[in-house]
């Protein structure tokens, strides 16, 4: 593989990771004074 292919695979991987993080991982919302994901709903 040359440098351009490696760079393209890295960009694709980062884009997929960003989309998965944005749409498929539940968002941690601050409710009832929770600053972290402490099980509050």
Domain count, the chain: 1
33: in domain = no
6: in domain = yes
What pLDDT is attached to residue 27?
64
Decide: 34 and 40 in contact? Cβ < 8 Å: yes
Give the residue carrying structure tokens 């600053």.
35
Dist CA 14 CA 16 (whole Å): 6
Question: pLDDT tens digit string along 1-41?
Answer: 899 999 999 999 999 999 988 887 766 655 555 556 666 65
8: in domain = yes
What pLDDT is attached to residue 39?
62
User: What domain range includes position 12?
Assistant: 1-28
38: in domain = no
Radius of gyration of the CA atoms of the chain, in A? 17
Decide: 31 and 39 in contact? Cβ < 8 Å: no
Structure tokens at 29: 């919302």
Decide: 32 and 40 in contact? Cβ < 8 Å: yes
14: in domain = yes
What pLDDT is attached to residue 5?
96
34: in domain = no
């Amino acid at each position: 593989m040359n440098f351009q292919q490696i760079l393209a695979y890295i960009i694709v991987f980062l884009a997929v990771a960003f989309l998965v993080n944005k749409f498929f991982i539940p968002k941690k919302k601050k409710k009832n004074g929770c600053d972290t994901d402490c099980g509050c709903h």
